[in-house]
Amino acid sequence: MGFSIVENSYPRSGRALGIPLVLLGAIGAHMIDALLWLSNHEVSFIQGFTHTHVKQAAEEKRDADDAFFLHGKMDNDMTFSLQVFTGVNHAEGSKLSIYGSEGTATLVNDRHLHLGMSNQDLEEIPVSTGYTVPNDLNEEAKGYFYALYPFLDNVVDYIKKNYLDSDLPLFSDGHKNQMVIELALNS
């Protein structure tokens, strides 16, 4: 299936497609965004698979995905793999991998970024945010702080100074992510 099938269509939610999406729609959208941002290239081919391991829990019937696997190729021939496992024994969380002739980059559980140039070992890259998390935030809010605060800084700069930072995601980026998800679901 080609990307052209959905490139001009309006993105539909998993529910509208008749597919209850949890992880692919939430975490997957962020992982696709990270893939496009880290690589600075477009997806040219993708295959996807979602699965529900835990179909019954606490008297609740579950039909939403608790695992997904996306594999594909970028327009410059890099390949990628995105996968999430949750809700199962020995779950590994999330992993984004980008492979190319010049090296490999991985992002594990949104916390550990590794880079290896061709024929070199993968090395963890320390990521400095330049921001300090306020002590009065609860643990859940602290987890989102490093992503949200720079985003809000960029939004303020765009509104006040008419400066569009290349890292500021736009609605068109979200639309592109939804098209990639839809293409993966239709593969």
DSSP class of residue 4 equals: G
153 in any annotated domain: no
Domain count along the chain: 1
In a domain, 83, yes or no: yes
CB 103, CB 116: distance < 8 Å: yes
Q: CA of 32: how far to CAs of 36, 83, 137, in Å?
A: 6, 11, 28
Collapsed DSSP state (helix, strand, coil) of residue 110: coil
In a domain, 163, yes or no: no
In-domain check, residue 161? no
Helix axis angle for 171-185 and 29-39, nearest 10°, is 110
**CATH code for position 59:** 3.30.360.10
Q: pTM of the prediction?
A: 0.70
The answer to the question of residue 93 being in a domain is yes
Look at residue 134 and tell me if it is in a domain.
no
pLDDT 10s digit of each residue in the chain, 187 long? Answer: 333 333 333 333 444 455 555 567 667 788 888 888 888 899 999 998 877 766 666 666 666 676 788 899 999 999 999 888 776 655 667 788 889 888 899 888 877 889 999 889 999 998 776 778 888 988 888 877 877 888 888 899 999 999 988 888 888 888 888 888 888 878 7
Residues forming a β-bridge with 47 = 71
Interatomic CA distance for residues 125 and 139, integer angstroms? 24
Q: Which domain holds residue 26?
A: 3-128+170-185
In a domain, 139, yes or no: no
**What span, in angstroms and rounded, lies between the C-alpha atoms of 63 and 53?**
9
Residue 85 forms part of a structural domain: yes
| Strands (DSSP E) found in 86-185 | 93-100, 103-108, 112-117, 123-125
